[in-house]
Amino acid sequence: MDVYITEKETGTRIALAMLPEKVKHKGSTKFQSYDIINVGEVKLPRGTKLLSFSWSGTFPGESRKSASFIKAHHWKAPKEMESIFERWRKNGTVLILMVTETWINHEVMVSDYTGTPTGGCGDVSYDVTFIENKEIKIYTTSELNIMPSAKTNENGTTATRPEPAAAAATTYTVKKGDNLWNIAKKFLGDGSRYKELYELNKDTIGSNPNLIYPGQTFTLPA
C-alpha cells in the first residue's frame, strides 16, 4: 500500500515515507424526522454528508531514513512535511488523496492537522483529517436554457417558449482525479452505484475498478 497526495491545481505530488497503521474513512446519511399520526416518529434520508478520511502517523527523522520500514525514496524532512500540511490546511488547497490497493481516490481538503515532535530521532507524530471536496457550479438562466413564462405582446401575439433542454448525458470522459465512486455520485446520484458503472464498462476499465485513466469514455447506466 502507498499513500499519495497530489495538489489538483499544480500536479505536485508527495508520498508518505512511513505508512500509517490504518486509514479510517467515515460516511453518513442525513435524515429528516417526521411525526406520523398513529405511527410515531419516522426518519427519511435527505442526502449524504461529506466523506472524511483520517489517520495518525509519523514523519520519520533523518536518522531513520535507512530503516527497513521507511520508503527512503519518498522521505522528506519532518519540518518540510509539517510545512506542506499546514499550508494545505490554511489555504484550503484542493488535493487528490489516493491510497493504493483500496477504493480511496478522492478530491479532498485538509480540515485538521496536529503535529508533535517526539523522541530523540527527530520524528514528528501527527494526526490529520481530510474532508471530501465538492465543487458547486452556479449556472445562469441562459446556461440552463431557461426563459420566463410566455407573455402576450402588445400586438396580441404570444412569445414562443424555448425548446426542451437536451437529454441527460449518456457517456462521460474521465478527467484527472476521477474515480468510479465520484462519477457514480455525480451522474447517478449515489456513489455506491459505482459497481453498475464498472460492470457496464468492464471491457474498457479492465479487472481493477480502482484504475481508471483520463481520456477513457464510459457509458452511464440509465
Residue 163 has pLDDT above 70, yes or no: no
At 50 the pLDDT is 85
- CA separation (Å) from 46 to 29, 43, 49, 190? 7, 9, 10, 12
CATH of 171-219, one of 3.30.70.20, 3.10.350.10, 2.40.170.20, 3.40.630.30: 3.10.350.10
Higher pLDDT, residue 157 or 126: 126
Query: Which positions ≥6 away from 1 have C-beta within 8 Å?
Result: 19, 99, 100, 101, 102
Q: How confident is the model at residue 210 (pLDDT cuts 50, 70, 90)?
A: confident
CA–CA distance, 185 with 194 (Å, rounded to integer): 8
Q: Is there a common fold for 3-32+43-132 and 171-219? A: no
Q: Decide if 49 contacts 27 (C-beta within 8 A).
A: yes
pLDDT in tens, 56-84: 999 999 988 888 889 989 999 999 999 99
Percentage, residues of the chain above pLDDT 70: 83
pLDDT in tens, 96-146: 999 998 899 999 999 999 999 987 788 999 999 999 998 766 666 666 666
Residue 124 CA, chain-centre distance (Å), reads 27
Name the nearest CA neighbour of 147 among 138, 166, 160: 160
Residue 149 has pLDDT above 80, yes or no: no
> Which amino acid is located at 83 in the chain?
S
At 78 the pLDDT is 94
Q: Decide if 132 contacts 51 (C-beta within 8 A).
A: yes
User: Domain map of the chain by residue range?
Assistant: 3-32+43-132, 171-219
Architecture of 3-32+43-132 per CATH? Beta Barrel (2.40)
